[in-house]
Amino acid sequence: MLRLLLNRIALTIPTFVALMFVTFVMLRLVPGDPVEARRGERGLSPEMHAKALHDLGLDQPVSAQFGNYVWGILHGNFGTSIVSKTPVTQEFFTLFPATVELTLCATLFAILVGIPAGVYAAVRRGKFFDQALMITALTGYSMPIFWWGLILILLMSNTLHLTPVSGRVDLIKYYYPQTTGFLLIDSILNGPKGAFLDVVRHLILPSIVLGTVPLGAFARMTRSAMLEVLDEDYIRTAKAKGLSAFRTINLHALRNALIPVVTSIGLQMGSLLAGAFLTETIFSWPGVGHWMVQSIGRRDYPVLQGGIMLVALVVMLLNVVLDMTSGLINPRLRHEK
Amino acid sequence: MRSTLKYLTAALLATAWSASSLSAKTLVYCSEGSPENFTPAMNTTGTSLDAARPIYDKLVRFVPGTTQVEPSLSEKTDVSADGLTLTFHLRKGVKFHSGVNGFTPTRDMNADDVIWSFDRQANEKNPWHKVSGGSFDYYSDMSMPDLIDSITKTDDSTVVIKLKQPNAPILANLAMDFATIHSAEYADFLMKKGTPEQFDQIPVGTGPFSFVDYQKDAVIRFKANPNWFGGKPKVDDLVYAITPDASARYAKLKAGECQVMIAPNPADLAAMAKDDGVNLMQQAGLNIGYLALNAQKPPFDKPEVRKAIAQAIDRGAILKEVYQGAGQQAKNPIPPTMWSYDKDAADIPYDPAAAKAALDKAGVKDLQTDLWWMPVQRPYNPNAKRMAEMMQADLAKVGIQAKLVSYEWGEYRKRAQAGEHQMALLGWTGDNGDPDNFLAVLLGCGKDGKPNGQNIPKWCDAKFQEDVNKAVTLTDQAERSKLYVDAQKIVDAQVPWLNIAHSTVFEPISKKVSGYKVSPLGAHEFWNVDVAE
């Protein structure tokens, strides 16, 4: 097990370094710079431009800038935002809990709906439910997030008045200290009566929207894994022994079918953490996706570089944890040379 | 220890807010993004300027909904006969916000605060100049270093600004956000505390609302200032709900989650106009969208060729399709809401046959040119690519082959300013409502006869330059107006650019809101706004 852990960590380090180099170079290859980006129509003489670049340290050779950047990262310094002049790590950790909270809720929604639906579709193979579910899953998987979010807002918020339009909490009724940044927790710790339910109400639509794509993926994957397992000899034996259908499916079949699904859940969570930009924009969700995309337009290099590296770090750690979990479930992984 | 203090402060603020919000009148404004910081002098984006505006006052201000200048912290301003000395008589008894970030002012606003606020921007040796980056774009953009000779005080309530040369728009400049007055005492307080960077993040001003809290990309909270010199604002709490998506802003407005929203989607305007709960306010924008014709590159150096190109382009169709009717066709280089606008100017009609004949007469045949379009949506040009395509088709009808070109936005402006283009789309939104801010900035040339950086047509005319140079030194608006009308006539005859359109600015607000004025300068102000329960 220790060897597996060391193996995975050893693979993570070169990935991190390569990503650091690629993002740094790629950002410098994009035309424009932060000084030009903030000027709009306004003029800027070459002297003023050069001075502003000098003040930001962007007049140095790219190799020197990269050296400074690596040196900073080795000391835990991911730089300071050119726009807000705030340390990147401070901004990241202010916004990241919102992204994590949304990702977890969206994943939970996708698991709770997707896996049972996949199991049921496998059991009802070829029947109407199976066909309908697969079409729905494919639709969900290919749904344009922006459109889906706005449709849900119009229906659930503007027409049926069941959920709030956007944001994380009612800004007028509930204003309380956010100690952890996770509003579900903060509303219990510090919020007045009703705050927790209000936070849950705000989470419903964005979780559905962000969870729709993974839901489709989980349902399809669970179905195909289940179909494979249901044809195995040990399932036939279980049935022959007289085990109930419920026990056969949920205890014997699903347990084995879940191995690839668990891996997929981890990968999907990784992509949700980094890719919730559209959902964050539609629902005014103050997370890291929207923060990073905004900084592209502003050419805020430290935010982009730092944000990408920090998100990548979290996703890589998540994958290590996932590999370790898979190792626990699957002994073959533990002993692979 | 510091995080404990921060937590306690947040808890106190939250408790105070909760207690007051039970019975308070709250106005929620759906803004579009987070501010860079809360010091207007360091920012150029409307988002950042809007976020700081409730907190501060200036010496003079724009009357809401207009570009007229009126007294603010300076209750009376004297301008010397030679126009070189401005004397500001400060309002007495003006208080800075108390209790923000642990700061309690011990004195009223005075001349030291005014001097400090400008010295921070002007003086590189000022210890505050470099705090938070030291970039004061507007101060230099409005040529303040070239204009101001000195700022001194004669007593605590009197500030004297001496100019290097007479400059009529200076008062309008001082009504702009970069000229907000900060507390020198708060600066000292933070310097002693060892946290100078908080000056631009946790703001203290004299304005109608005091700062309560800011959560990045989520919310900014303000409370009404009961001691404001203009009297307590009509709403008790002001909340900026940061909502980046325009459709989501409209959905929030419909659901009553906010009462005023910025920048509606053009596609939503028709629905907003029919919406019973929404008052779709509108005003002609203080802007111009134009097609610059590079007068330094043949055959665009000939006025008759430039005029022929103007005749070849169907601006009526552009207005209908690109602006979706939300604007008006431009016939002058300045917007019609601006004083000195030449109402009698004749517009250039769409006449491809006449254009073709004029081009033939000028000996222009099989002309191949570039046509640059900006890669961004701007208030004066909602879709430059579509506009360029329409122009390309119109020009083809008169035998001109235009190749569409674009660059990354910063690169685009830089190359256009360097004059690399033959034809380029661009535009401008006014800063202070003064014609000089359009004519001299966008079409002016230096003493060396070379076009200014922002003169994209690269066109210079001695008489035009004489008019605008003279007008800026005069204090009598009627005299200035005559000169600017004359200058516009020269532009209309010479056609350095094709005036395309002045777009309309829309502001949807809830019908529960009263007193809100749409600013031609794009500012959002709430001190005179009320909201029905």
Per-residue tens of pLDDT for chain B, all 533 residues = 445 545 555 555 555 555 555 568 999 999 999 999 999 999 988 999 999 999 999 999 999 999 999 999 999 999 999 999 999 999 999 999 999 999 999 999 999 999 999 999 999 999 999 998 878 989 988 989 999 999 999 999 999 999 999 999 999 999 999 999 999 999 999 999 999 999 999 999 999 999 999 999 999 999 999 999 999 999 999 999 999 999 999 999 999 999 999 999 888 999 999 999 999 999 888 999 999 999 999 999 999 999 999 999 999 999 999 998 889 999 999 999 999 999 999 999 999 999 999 999 999 999 999 999 999 888 899 899 999 999 999 999 999 999 999 998 888 988 999 999 999 999 999 999 999 999 999 999 988 889 988 899 999 999 999 999 999 999 899 999 999 999 999 999 999 999 999 999 899 999 999 999 999 999 999 999 999 97
The pLDDT value given to residue B343: 95
Cβ contact B401:B367 at 8 Å: yes
Contact flag A286-B248 (C-beta cutoff 8 Å):
no
**List of residues 6+ apart from B318 with CB closer than 8 A:** B387, B390, B391, B500, B501
**Separation CA B13–CA A26 (nearest Å):** 44
Residue of A nearest to B27 (CA): A172
pTM for the full model?
Answer: 0.91
The pLDDT value given to residue B2: 47
Contact flag B217-A286 (C-beta cutoff 8 Å):
yes
**Separation CA B79–CA B128 (nearest Å):** 30
Position with higher pLDDT, A142 vs B395: B395
The closest alpha carbon to A211, from A127, A324, A117, A328, belongs to A117
Q: How many CB pairs under 8 A join A and B?
A: 153
CA angle at B169 for the pair B167 and B171, rounded to the nearest 5°: 100
**Separation CA B402–CA B404 (nearest Å):** 6
The closest alpha carbon to B501, from B320, B295, B307, B346, belongs to B320
List the single residue in B251, B409, B411 with the smallest CB-CB distance to A165: B251
Q: Tell me the chain B residues in contact with residue A44 when contact means C-beta distances shorter than 8 Å.
A: 414, 453
Work out whether the CA dihedral B39, B42, B46, B47 comes out positive or negative.
negative
List the single residue in B28, B378, B426 with the smallest CB-CB distance to A171: B28
Structural tokens at position B363: 């000996």
This complex has an ipTM of 0.90
List the single residue in A95, A166, A287 with the smallest CB-CB distance to B248: A166
Contact flag B10-A178 (C-beta cutoff 8 Å):
yes
SS3 state of residue A177:
coil
Superfamily of domain A88-336: MetI-like (1.10.3720.10)
Can you give the residue ranges of every domain in chain A?
A: 88-336
B335 torsion bin: left (phi>0), alpha (psi -120 to 50), beta (else): beta
Please provide the DSSP assignment of A35-60 as one string.
HHHTTTT----HHHHHHHHHHTTTTS
Q: Tell me the chain B residues in contact with residue A191 when contact means C-beta distances shorter than 8 Å.
A: none
Q: How many CA atoms lie within 13 A of B497 on its CB side?
A: 30
**Separation CA A182–CA B457 (nearest Å):** 54
The pLDDT value given to residue B1: 43
Q: Measured in whole angstroms, how far is the alpha carbon of residue B137 from the centre of its chain?
A: 13
Residue of B nearest to A147 (CA): B247
Q: Which helix (H) or strand (E) holds B252?
A: helix B246-255
Cβ contact A186:A177 at 8 Å: yes
The CA distances from residue A223 to A111, A130, A215, A229, A262, in Å, are: 13, 9, 12, 10, 14
Arithmetic mean of pLDDT, A38-60: 83
Question: B69-71 and B74-79 as β-strands: parallel, antiparallel, unpaired?
Answer: unpaired
Contact flag B140-A284 (C-beta cutoff 8 Å):
no
Please provide the DSSP assignment of B436-484 as one string.
HHHHHHHH-B-TTSPBPTT-TT----HHHHHHHHHHTT---HHHHHHHH
Arithmetic mean of pLDDT, A71-94: 92
Interface test with chain B among A172, A285, A295, by most B beta carbons within 10 Å: A172
The closest alpha carbon to B212, from B444, B16, B434, belongs to B16
The pLDDT value given to residue A33: 86
SS3 state of residue B220:
strand
**Separation CA A304–CA B394 (nearest Å):** 42
The closest alpha carbon to A166, from B52, B263, B219, belongs to B219
Structural tokens at position B51: 């976020």
Omega within 30 of 0 (cis) for the link into B299: yes
The pLDDT value given to residue B22: 52
The CA distance from A77 to the nearest CA of chain B, in Å, is 18
Per the prediction, chain A carries an average pLDDT of 89
Structural tokens at position B201: 């993040």
SS3 state of residue B299:
coil
Arithmetic mean of pLDDT, A274-298: 90
Burial of A63 (C-beta count, 10 Å sphere; 0-12/13-18/19+): exposed
**List of residues 6+ apart from B203 with CB closer than 8 A:** B38, B39, B52, B55, B56, B100, B211
SS3 state of residue B18:
helix
The pLDDT value given to residue B6: 54
Residue A135 has pLDDT above 70, yes or no: yes
Q: What is the pLDDT of residues A194-215, one digit of tens each?
A: 999 999 999 999 999 999 999 9
**Separation CA B42–CA B243 (nearest Å):** 23
**Separation CA B135–CA A81 (nearest Å):** 14
Contact flag A31-B242 (C-beta cutoff 8 Å):
no
Query: Is A160's Cβ below 8 Å from some Cβ in B?
Result: no
Residue of A nearest to B238 (CA): A172
End-to-end CA distance of chain A: 12
Contact flag A33-B21 (C-beta cutoff 8 Å):
no
Q: Measured in whole angstroms, how far is the alpha carbon of residue A320 from the centre of its chain?
A: 16
**Separation CA B533–CA B530 (nearest Å):** 10
**List of residues 6+ apart from A25 with CB closer than 8 A:** A62
Backbone angles phi, psi at B168, to 5 degrees: -65, -40
**Separation CA B177–CA B200 (nearest Å):** 14
Contact flag B218-A167 (C-beta cutoff 8 Å):
yes
Arithmetic mean of pLDDT, A294-314: 90
List the single residue in A31, A45, A171 with the smallest CB-CB distance to B408: A31
B134 torsion bin: left (phi>0), alpha (psi -120 to 50), beta (else): left
List the single residue in B7, B242, B408 with the smallest CB-CB distance to A179: B7
The CA distance from B37 to the nearest CA of chain A, in Å, is 6
Cβ contact B204:B100 at 8 Å: yes
Structural tokens at position A328: 């626990």
SS3 state of residue B245:
coil
Amino acid letter, residue A310: L
End-to-end CA distance of chain B: 42
List the single residue in A55, A166, A178 with the smallest CB-CB distance to B243: A166
**Separation CA A87–CA A307 (nearest Å):** 11
The closest alpha carbon to B69, from B86, B81, B85, B84, belongs to B86
The CA distance from A86 to the nearest CA of chain B, in Å, is 9
Q: Tell me the chain B residues in contact with residue A294 when contact means C-beta distances shorter than 8 Å.
A: 33
**Separation CA B436–CA B488 (nearest Å):** 12
Query: Is A28's Cβ below 8 Å from some Cβ in B?
Result: no
**List of residues 6+ apart from B217 with CB closer than 8 A:** A95, A284, A286, A287, A290, A291, B33, B34, B242, B244
Contact flag B248-A83 (C-beta cutoff 8 Å):
no
Cβ contact B244:A290 at 8 Å: yes
**List of residues 6+ apart from B25 with CB closer than 8 A:** B234, B235, B236, B237, B530, B531, B533
Q: Tell me the chain B residues in contact with residue A94 when contact means C-beta distances shorter than 8 Å.
A: 215-216
Q: What is the pLDDT of residues A246-260, one digit of tens each?
A: 888 887 888 888 888
Query: Is A43's Cβ below 8 Å from some Cβ in B?
Result: yes
